[in-house]
Chain A
């Protein structure tokens, strides 16, 4: 794809037609998916207790879309609120740490202790502390994304161009001016690297939160555990597929946002 953008008149090869290019980029993955689907069907038809057939998964979704939709919304809510708070808090704490090193000294050891504690082990304790509502699930989802956001944002805020910083210092730029015009925009590549890790983790976090902090049994993760316990494989795999879809959508949205915010960091994109 980037070949098209950087194409240079001097060394242009015979450019492929748009249809050919589309086929070229879509065909290989499509073939992979078809092969996997065929293998899946072969296993499913011969071992009905291992995998459901693809039709049965599809039928399950088609027969009760509202049920899936409602559960997906619950999981989305956990991601938006829980991961959203974790991301925001991770970023803000990174800003505080980079502006006031004393905060990093004071807080970082505690954060490392929390982060090496398995979230799966904290969750039941959170349920005891905060009850069976949504709060423990938000906390678990938020905890999972918090650390990669904190670490990446902090690295970005520290990675400021020293020569540009010197220019700011000789101009006697205030702390706020230096943050607004230099550190904040400059740390965005790292923030997006953090988000790229955090987004898939947010889905994992929400699913795990529903497994371990059961409470009200709702969400795609709960659906997986309940249906698996009943050996209702079509529902289990339909829920897994939807969790996967959620992850893909989140990562795609992130890629779109990155293109808008971070156009300047990819040399290819600038040449618009």
Chain B
């Protein structure tokens, strides 16, 4: 996926605010990229532009060499919103099967996954026939992630999928996503506020600065895979965490001057 020179601003002419200014980014096939930065720097806006939910004022996005509109038509984009956004009147299984049922013309020539199998691998095998309201927040969010993986999109976009969860649950869901992703490497653009989460999951971390939103630094995460909890305790992890936190602090201080 390629994002080149995206600009976007909001507001009427006199009070126009530039939210994204010349953002360029390439995500390779099967690469996990995290987007981190101060609140309001335009992470969600960038994700919306990439998802085709909002139009940029300038620049272009291409997914596998095709425009976002074309990618959407082919169901190439999997979205995991901040809240699970499951349909309360459908069972978990029916919720996860929904992307297969919708826009069926785009199903041709792709390897759809078996919803039951994917739910089982997300640890929701016993919850398939239940309704979202009967599940915990963490389980709901896992179902939302399963829903994005089930139709085998080219790229997954996740906007702080774990932000509504408490710390313990959050870590559990994060490791679940890590496990699943390590055995199904897909291109992912993952927005987060958590430095350890970004390091644990990503191949690269994109650090954004605010006013206007732009990329300040791209940090490679050269930690071996497959990863697991043990990584938190390593020096390499701690060093990198210190580095990212420091870079983040600099970006935030610069914004206040």
Contact = CB atoms under 8 A, between A and B. Distances in A.
A270 B131 contact: yes
B43 to A, nearest CB: 15
Interface string A166-180: 111111111001000
A174 B105 CA distance: 11
B102 A173 contact: yes
Contact of B98 (A163, A169, A181, A270): A181
Q: How large is the interface on A (under 10, 10 to 19, 20 to 34, 35 or more residues)?
A: 20 to 34
B134 interface: yes
B124 interface: no
B99 A166 contact: no
B85 interface: yes
Interface in B115-157: 131, 133-134, 147, 151, 157
Nearest to B134: A270
Interface in A102-126: none
Contact of A166 (B75, B79, B147): B79
A123 B78 CA distance: 56
B87 A265 contact: no
A186 to B, nearest CB: 8
Contacts of B134: 270-271
B87 A169 contact: no
Given A181-B102, A271-B134, A170 B89 contact: no
A182 B89 CA distance: 10
Contacts of B101: 181
A185 interface: yes
Nearest to B104: A177
Given A182-B87, A264-B89, A270-B134, A167 B72 contact: no
Interface of B: 51-53, 72-75, 77-79, 81-83, 85-89, 98-99, 101-103, 106, 131, 133-134, 147, 151, 157
12 contacts: A164-B85, A166-B79, A167-B85, A168-B102, A170-B51, A170-B72, A170-B77, A172-B72, A264-B88, A264-B133, A265-B88, A271-B134
